[in-house]
């Protein structure tokens, strides 16, 4: 199998089951942490987040690859600069056969957008003809599994101020996810009952 798969096999793994979600925590040998959340009804990753190099500036926040970003609360008032809440943002979703991106807060009609696969950087580029939005979407999974992007797998639609880009999963990826899920089944879940019943003093 691929290099990435063996790397995950070697990582220190632990998991808990919370209702019908299985949460898996990997500790990779370079110190990075990876958390995945599987929906046990569909056996598909619904969330994935990374925490890389925590050496430089204390604890770093989680870097969300799949699923909704961590909610930010109002008490974190002391920000330096951040995008206005009305600005477009991308979230990624995983289904059994597709990878989907939703770019919210994009009010322009569908003719404006062009979604192109860039072979050079192996990424999808979203452009608008009115020069208001530009985004290069990387697919870390594909980089890890060394899969090349194909233009014919991309399709997109626009509804409710949201641009939805769909990419059909290549066979190699579906096989990898299946194999990984078989591995994850083997991890003994820690009893999540204890975690939930933890008394707050």
Angle separating helix axes 171-186 and 3-10, nearest 10 degrees: 10
For tokens 């063996």, name the residue: 6
Is the CB of 86 or the CB of 120 nearer to another protein? 86
Shortest separation between residue 55's beta carbon and another protein, angstroms = 7
By the rule CB under 8 A, 132 interacts with another protein: yes
Binding mask 19-58 for another protein (x = CB under 8 A): ------------------------------------xxxx
Shortest separation between residue 78's beta carbon and another protein, angstroms = 5
15, 190 in Cβ contact below 8 A? yes
> What is residue 190's DSSP assignment?
B
By the rule CB under 8 A, 61 interacts with another protein: no
Q: Which stretch binds another protein (CB under 8 A): 20-28, 42-50, 78-86, 184-192?
A: 78-86
Identified binder of another protein from the candidate list 73, 75, 134, 160, rule CB under 8 A = 134
For tokens 């990419």, name the residue: 167
By the rule CB under 8 A, 109 interacts with another protein: no
125, 116 in Cβ contact below 8 A? yes
- State whether residue 18 is helix, strand or coil: strand
For tokens 């798969």, name the residue: 5
By the rule CB under 8 A, 79 interacts with another protein: yes
By the rule CB under 8 A, 171 interacts with another protein: no
Alpha-carbon radius of gyration of the chain: 19
By the rule CB under 8 A, 73 interacts with another protein: no
Strand 63-66 with 123-128, pairing: unpaired
Shortest separation between residue 88's beta carbon and another protein, angstroms = 8
CA-to-CA distance for 20 and 104, rounded, in angstroms?
Answer: 28
Q: Which stretch binds another protein (CB under 8 A): 13-21, 34-42, 127-135, 188-196?
A: 127-135
**Distance spanning both ends of the chain, measured CA to CA:** 48
Question: Could you tell me how many residues of this chain bind another protein (CB under 8 A)?
Answer: 23
By the rule CB under 8 A, 83 interacts with another protein: yes
55, 33 in Cβ contact below 8 A? no
- Contact residues for another protein, defined by CB under 8 A: 55-58, 77-87, 127-128, 131-136
């Amino acid at each position: 199998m691929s290099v990435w798969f063996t790397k995950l096999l070697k990582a220190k793994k632990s998991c808990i089951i919370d209702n019908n979600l299985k949460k898996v925590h990997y500790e990779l040998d370079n110190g990075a942490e990876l958390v995945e959340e599987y929906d046990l009804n569909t056996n598909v990753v619904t969330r994935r987040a990374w925490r890389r190099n925590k050496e430089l500036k204390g604890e770093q926040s989680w870097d969300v690859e799949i699923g909704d970003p961590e909610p930010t609360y109002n008490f974190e008032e002391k920000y330096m600069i951040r995008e206005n809440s009305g600005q477009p943002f991308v979230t990624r979703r995983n289904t059994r056969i597709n990878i989907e991106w939703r770019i919210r807060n994009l009010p322009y009609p569908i003719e404006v957008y062009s979604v192109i696969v860039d072979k050079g950087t192996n990424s999808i580029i979203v452009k608008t003809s009115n020069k208001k939005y530009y985004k290069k979407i990387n697919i870390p999974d594909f980089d890890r599994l060394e899969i090349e992007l194909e233009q014919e797998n991309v399709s997109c639609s626009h509804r409710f101020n949201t641009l939805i880009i769909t990419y059909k999963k290549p066979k190699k990826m579906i096989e990898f996810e299946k194999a990984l899920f078989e591995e994850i089944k083997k991890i003994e879940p820690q009893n999540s009952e204890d975690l939930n019943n933890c008394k707050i003093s």
